[in-house]
A and B are shown apart, each in its own frame.
Chain A
Amino acid sequence: MNTMVPAVNVEALKDTTLLNMGIFALFVAVTMVIVFRASRNNKTAADYYAAGRSFTGSQNGTAIAGDYLSAASFLGITGAIAINGYDGFLYSIGFLVAWLVALLLVAELLRNTGKFTMADVLSFRLRQRPVRIAAALSTLAVCFFYLLAQMAGAGSLISLLLGISDWGGQALVIIVVGALMIMYVLIGGMKGTTWVQIIKAILLIAGAAVMTAMVLAIYGFNLSSLLGSAAEAANNPAVLNPGLQYGKSDTSKLDFMSLGLALVLGTAALPHVLMRFYTVPTAKEARKSVVWAIWLIGLFYLFTLVLGYGAAALVGAETIKSAPGGVNSAAPLLAFHLGGPLLLGFISAVAFATILAVVAGLTITAAASFAHDIYANVISKGKADATTEVKVARRTVVVIGVLAILGGIFANGQNVAFLVALAFAVAASANLPTIVYSLFWKKFTTQGAVWSMYGGLAAAILLITFSPVVSGAKTSMIPGANFAFFPLSNPGIVSIPLAFFLGWLGTVLDKRREDPAKQAEMEVRSLTGVGAEKAVDH
């Protein structure tokens, strides 16, 4: 079967550049109109940061899927399955199972106790200043790493999809993407960002569904013969088994454990995911959001399994690897094979929309954290009014947008895939222990929170600095140097337990006790929703 497959002519892809750009421009035009309409009601801080808490659970769940399914998920996982077979599938499972942590332990309780940011919850019953500053710093760190990965990814995506291969051209496209993102967030706030994410999620999941159905139809809806054909095309039956990517050595196996730990514990502590729970009116809607997100994300990852093996069988690993964009080109090449230039144009536009929606979500989270946590609560000590706070948030959006553009241009072409995994590891180490302790452990104190957050943050960043991803290996960021002493490329297996331990140690060594009345208030509020911020009426 695989011998009849017509080779995908990578050169022919350049002819579709105009079509790709046209479809993408249409997406931008439609979303801009929606963002303008949505922004008319943006008056208060709750409007700007939390979309007036007016989204329903199903809308928010779709937006969460749009926020979470980044280009790394779509292009990266499809490509990983196409090249490394089963090991690519392992990623999707970690990314999905992680949502149970959010559903069972975090989403509703967080919605009931916070207002705008993750720090609202963490500092609820502890001393405001130290905890808020620590939580804001780790929020900014996670957003920065994640943002940089997305912007740099935009550069390499462009080389394939738009046929722009020179550095200046790619830089120009990164500037355009960044400028569009700043406009969405500046004008639309959380409401506009949410609509962009909803539209993108629908397009992405629909596009993946159509491609999945087309691939399955070729194999008579028989998964086994698809797998057989993929193994045959790869000339290696091992693509169906685990171990191709991570089974090489004991270190790589341990590295995989570390990655698995970071993925499963990091999701529920990603600040931009947590902030989405404030856009719904009640905890029950927050629960419904996670349920929707789990179904959509699960469905999508099942599609990527078919798409990945489909790309291996129909396009072939060699063609994928030699195409501009490398592994990331598996999904677009498969689209071209299945539906010609039109489907490729659609999928390319969706991939762009994906980057745009994810960076918008990250930017508003980082801006909210700076304006609400650092400016309003620490610098002006709670005396700033909401109007000033939103003004600061908007200025921060521009600053972050410009930083993201510059970072994206300079990181373009660098090996930045690890940045997303790093963002998960930092979130799991710096945020999750404190979230869990402050929600469930009565005796938890400020010192425990501060030790755990700074300890987790520092451990994750230091270990990655002294790991093979930065120096000492062929694929390192700094190829010539070698100052690596930590053998794993993901720090999670060390930094996450360490942060949990520090949270415990800091608490038992703390001579100060926290206010039991505050603890009682947080516990009662978190479980019952008493006094939770309600929807804003217009």
Chain B
Amino acid sequence: MTYALPLNKILVAFSGNSHDGCSYRTTLLQDLFDLDAQDAQENILKDLCWRTRYYECSFDLYIDEFEDFEEWLTELCLQEFDELREVLAGIIVVADYDPEHEGKDIILQKFANCLGQGSFNVWCNTKVISEEKGLDANYILHEENTEAEMVEIQCEKDINEYGEKLGLKRLKEIIDIHEWDGVLMPSCQIKFPK
């Protein structure tokens, strides 16, 4: 028999640079998790509730800031943080993403693999992407059993030509479809919000 904590913690990490991640802290936390301005300044928030039209579940929020993402990620992957990674449902990184940056693929790859299968790894890009750069506004890096997804938080549209949600809406959807521990998926009683 294994005793384990449920994987019900979301780690959100903002870039410490005032021009990108950090300045989004309050609004993003408010919009995404429905926090008030004061809570949004906390580092640990317990027993929050994630609600969808099909289920609700309680979760904890860990909020961090970093100067250098690569260094922060390396630290998170150290053995001493094993116990922390084991209870994370997912990680949301809020920072500029530079598609020109050399070695970006390796960083994303590392990010995708830092938690186990079944978790979500989202990079909220705070940089405005120009259309002609051709960066797919809906990019997922697929690894063996994990993936890292790019969400363009500055995206003007909230739905693309394929009916796929973009920006904050997609971020919400990623958390919605996460298979939370303890939430038994098929209840199959349709509750249509009128």
Q: Does chain A bind chain B?
A: no
Chain B positions near chain A (C-beta within 8 angstroms): none
